[in-house]
Amino acid sequence: MALLFKTDASRADDWVCAFAEQAPEIELRVFPELGRAEDIDYALVWQPPPGLLARLPNLRAVFSVGAGIDHLASDPALPRHLPLVRMVEPGLSEGMSEYVAMSVLLHHRFFLDYQAQQKARVWEEIQQVPAAERRVGILGLGALGLACVEKLRPFGFQLLGWSRAAKAVSGVTCFHGTEGLWQMLPQSDILVSLLPLTPATRNLLDRRVFAALPRGAYLINAARGGQQVEQDLLDALASGQLAGASLDVFQQEPLPPDSPFWNHPRVLLTPHVAAMTMAKTAVAEVIANIRRFEQGQPLHNTVDLERGY
């Protein structure tokens, strides 16, 4: 059995070791060393060159190294008849829930204001808000959204969540569909995006959404930059409608050197690192899925390409 593996070259060694330890029976072909394309049964990839997967005639399933599959869905030559599996693994959930909890707490405790005060050598108190009075709205109640709910729960925030289909999550006020979004926004002091990038979510975070939030709300986008209309976001920050933002993702990545976000005093910025797939735990999930598939059982975490996630 042969598996083509393609990810950032800098992180490949951990994956090669994890496969060697956990599934020595799988012959790993690390891109760009393809060998005979006919031999490849499975592909585990992050941002493969467009058309690469279509050149593997006996491919049986495609696995994404990341949770998001927009990098694959945008390839017009993607073999759409094959099962496509997104990454769901404990390392990603842990990383994302840490990032979101950290960002929520920073904004909840007015970190941006205290950072500005520190620069100006100002010693001044800002009235603390009890967590029970702070409402955190999470867009996306999937694998990562739910992991964040669990991480945030002990702090005592009021938790709200939005999904496509109706959901019931203990301790979370749940909304769904377009109507649900407009109900949830005015009740979200901190809005977190953990949505996949799909035609329905592209440019979702725009001036109308920002205007619907309470004045002085915060945005945390740990999902995809394609969801945020960046000029609208800058305008909302300039007017004070948004008091600040934590942005891990951008329309253009790497963020261009002349982007106004780099030096923005109300923005905390990270280079798309909110959560990284961890080789050891991810390989365990991929192997379990392949073994299931080889025994004629359905794969877990397959993507519905029609709905885009």
- Show Cβ contacts of residue 188 under 8 Å, excluding neighbours closer than 6 positions: 135, 136, 137, 160, 213, 214, 217
40 vs 279: CA distance, rounded Å:
21
DSSP readout, 66-121?
A: SS--HHHHT-TT--TTS-EE----HHHHHHHHHHHHHHHHHHHTTHHHHHHHHHTT
Q: For residue 297, what are its two tokens?
A: 């059982």
Asked, as a colleague might, if the bond just before 154 is cis with ω within 30 of 0, I would say: no
147 vs 140: CA distance, rounded Å:
11
DSSP readout, 234-289?
A: HHHHHHTSEEEEEES--SSSSPPTT-TTTT-TTEEE-SS-S----HHHHHHHHHHH
208 vs 193: CA distance, rounded Å:
16
Q: Minimal distance in Å, beta carbon 88 to ligand NDP? A: 6
Give the footprint of ligand OXD on residues 156-215 (CB under 6 A): none
Give the footprint of ligand OXD on residues 95-154 (CB under 6 A): none
Shorter beta-carbon distance to ligand OXD: residue 66 or 140? 66
Shorter beta-carbon distance to ligand NDP: residue 68 or 137? 68
Residue nearest to ligand OXD according to CB distances in the complex:
66
Q: Minimal distance in Å, beta carbon 195 to ligand OXD? A: 12
Shorter beta-carbon distance to ligand NDP: residue 37 or 276? 276
Q: Helix 143-152 and helix 90-108: axis angle, to 10°?
A: 50
Shorter beta-carbon distance to ligand OXD: residue 68 or 161? 68
Shorter beta-carbon distance to ligand NDP: residue 7 or 198? 198
Give the footprint of ligand OXD on residues 270-289 (CB under 6 A): 277
Partner touching 168 among ligand NDP, ligand OXD, none, CB below 5 to 8 Å by kind: none
Partner touching 198 among ligand OXD, ligand NDP, none, CB below 5 to 8 Å by kind: ligand NDP
Partner touching 309 among ligand OXD, ligand NDP, none, CB below 5 to 8 Å by kind: ligand NDP
Shorter beta-carbon distance to ligand OXD: residue 207 or 272? 272
Q: Minimal distance in Å, beta carbon 165 to ligand NDP? A: 4
Residues at the site binding ligand NDP, with contacts judged by CB under 6 A: 66-68, 88, 92, 96, 140-145, 162-165, 167, 194-198, 200-201, 222-224, 248-249, 272, 274-275, 309
Q: For residue 224, what are its two tokens?
A: 């995809």
Choosing from 40, 56, 68, 145, the residue that interacts with ligand OXD (CB under 6 A) is: 68
Q: Minimal distance in Å, beta carbon 198 to ligand NDP? A: 6
* Residues that are catalytic: 224, 272
Q: Minimal distance in Å, beta carbon 173 to ligand OXD? A: 27
Give the footprint of ligand OXD on residues 37-66 (CB under 6 A): 66
Q: Minimal distance in Å, beta carbon 67 to ligand OXD? A: 4
Determine the straight-line distance between the first and last CA of the chain, rounded to whole angstroms: 28
202 vs 224: CA distance, rounded Å:
9
Residue among 173, 50, 157, 54 at smallest CA distance from 108: 157
- Interface residues with ligand OXD (CB under 6 A) are 66-68, 87, 277
